[in-house]
Amino acid sequence: MGKPTGFLEYGRSEAGHRPVAERIRDFEEFVVPQGADALHTQSARCMDCGVPFCHAGFVVQGGSIGCPLCNLIPEVNDLVYRGELGRAFERLLKTHPFPEFTSRVCPALCEGSCTLGEHEPPVTIKEIERFVIDEAIRGGLRPRYPKATTGKRVAVVGSGPSGLACADVLNQLGYAVTVFERADRAGGLLMYGIPNMKLSKDLVDRRVRLMQDEGVRFTLNADVGSDYPVLSLMRDFDAIVLCAGATAERLLSAPGADLAGVVTAMAYLSASTKNLLDGTPMPGAMSANGKDVVVVGGGDTGTDCVGTAIRRGAKSVSQFEIMPPLPEERAQDNPWPLWPRKFKTDYGQEEAAALFGADPREYLTTVKEVKGDGHRVTGVVTVQVRWEKGAGGRLTPVEIGGSERERPCGLLLTAMGFTGPEPSLIEQMNLATDARGFVSASESDYRTSLPTVFACGDMRRGPSLVVWAILEGMNAAKSCDKYLKRSHQE
């Protein structure tokens, strides 16, 4: 690489965060990137390892190794070190259509598999990627127009990360692409599922406008299978790619969970974003202002609920996680170069600790009952659990007697994950599903049980990361292209 001894000379430095007292007063992005000089030095830490795992892009024993997109990370880092940002951007685009998204919301699987990270803090790959794309945006992203057209039409259902990636590839291959989105804005999870302080909606809008300039058509407020007939889709397009996600949320089953003020995470985050973008009032039952807020569930979505509730004026925030905390260091069954499953404190917990004096998370705890006044939630009863193996060897949570505790609660947000895709469209198209209820489509060709219909992203794979959704969308587009070319020849 540009500086072979850089990893011996420089330590890792990272982007900063805006002060908590400042950032909780708005929804602007909280990360403060490092400057060009600092990232020039950080890129020098890429150590020219003999076998780089950062861009391996595969799964072993259920764990990820490297970037699923197989970004050419050592090459990009080298070009950044040499000051050739234009070429670094071109190299990044060879594998990645939307680095402005992953450089903000991806957990950086690449860094978890960095060779330097085996014995030192890894290279700041994610921030270098953000620097490259942000510099390109400042210079003005230009449309890439297809070199030829095929005369065939493809419908993409869903405009989340997999849908955008699929539409982008198909458009560049010369297809007339129409993206159907049931919401009033394109972007799916990127627009309404990830709050503004993590991903500015200006970035999503900019990318959608660029794709429109390149020829992609977006049809909004079009819920395929509801207000847009499936038969019309089958009749008007040569192929269909389903990218509708796995949006059925896991619901709280405790008594009282039907009370007003018990709200799913996606409903809450979507309403918050709509309020910021359009001035649409937050429904009264979703107001966090002056209330004791309880978040059930961990993960990124739970953190986003914590951070959003704080910005919405919560009196207090508690977060309950039924699982035990992750270890501080890698466990023996989680060796490098697998993604390190380690305990971390994210921005939401950092803000809650600064504001309320303690980390809001309580582990091995769940809500047993929701209390109310006959209409609205007023409190919750929590109980601690331990995990025990059942008859089949499967671990299940068992309540610990006498651990019940009643707590005040004026807003209960459930961030308990997703159970699968919504069934209506799948049933109308009579598509085969797997044992989990996801659309059956092989990873080799992404084809469903209908010959002209493909499926990808969370709808096929199951709930996962944005980066995996982007990869699935790109691969499904290529498979769709192969099918349409073959059918044309026949």
What's the average model confidence in pLDDT over 126-139?
97
User: Amino acid identity, residue 457?
Assistant: G
Q: Are strands 239-242 and 453-455 parallel, antiparallel or unpaired?
A: parallel
Q: How confident is the model at residue 254, as a pLDDT?
A: 97
What's the average model confidence in pLDDT over 289-308?
97
CA distances (Å), origin 348, targets 17, 24, 307, 309, 333: 12, 10, 4, 9, 29
How far apart CA 339 and CA 333 sit, in angstroms, is 11
Q: Which alpha helices (DSSP H) does 10-84 contain, by range?
A: 20-23, 36-43, 73-81
Greatest Cα pair distance, the chain, in angstroms, is: 71
Q: How confident is the model at residue 273, as a pLDDT?
A: 98
Query: pLDDT grade, residue 489 (50/70/90)?
Result: low
Q: How confident is the model at residue 420, as a pLDDT?
A: 95
What's the average model confidence in pLDDT over 304-326?
98
Query: Is residue 261 exposed (0-12), middle (13-18) or buried (19+ Cβ within 10 Å)?
Result: buried
Q: How confident is the model at residue 3, as a pLDDT?
A: 87
Distance of CA 162 to the CA centre of its chain: 11
Architecture of domain 153-247+419-489: 3-Layer(bba) Sandwich (3.50)
Residues 6+ away with beta carbon under 8 Å from 4: 47, 48
Residues 6+ away with beta carbon under 8 Å from 324: 363, 364, 387
| Percent of residues, the chain, with pLDDT higher than 70 | 99
What's the average model confidence in pLDDT over 315-320?
98
Closest alpha carbon to 98 in 26, 186, 220, 184: 186
C-beta pairs of 249-252 under 8 Å, 24+ apart in sequence: 249/414, 249/416, 249/417, 249/418, 249/419, 250/414, 250/416, 250/417, 250/418, 250/419, 251/414, 251/416, 252/296, 252/367, 252/370, 252/412, 252/414, 252/416
Residue 207 has pLDDT above 60, yes or no: yes
Sequence-ordered strand ranges (E) for 307-376: 316-321, 361-363, 365-372
Residue 319 has pLDDT above 70, yes or no: yes
How far apart CA 24 and CA 28 sit, in angstroms, is 9
Task: Give, for 387, the enclosing helix (H) or strand (E).
Answer: strand 377-389
Which residue(s) pair with 65 in the sheet? 58
The 10s digit of each residue's pLDDT in 404-447 is 999 999 999 999 999 999 999 999 999 999 999 999 999 999 99
What's the average model confidence in pLDDT over 126-146?
97
How far apart CA 488 and CA 452 sit, in angstroms, is 13
**Residue 465 tokens, joined:** 């990361």
| CA neighbours closer than 13 Å in the CB half-sphere of residue 229 | 5
**Residue 434 tokens, joined:** 């797997």
Confirm or reject CATH 3.50.50.60 for domain 251-416, answering yes or no.
yes
Domain limits of the chain? Answer: 6-139, 153-247+419-489, 251-416
Q: How confident is the model at residue 390, as a pLDDT?
A: 84
Fold match, 6-139 / 153-247+419-489: no
CATH class name, domain 6-139: mainly alpha
Q: How confident is the model at residue 490, as a pLDDT?
A: 56
State the chain's mean pLDDT as an integer: 96
Query: Is there a cis peptide before residue 325, judged by omega within 30 degrees of 0?
Result: no
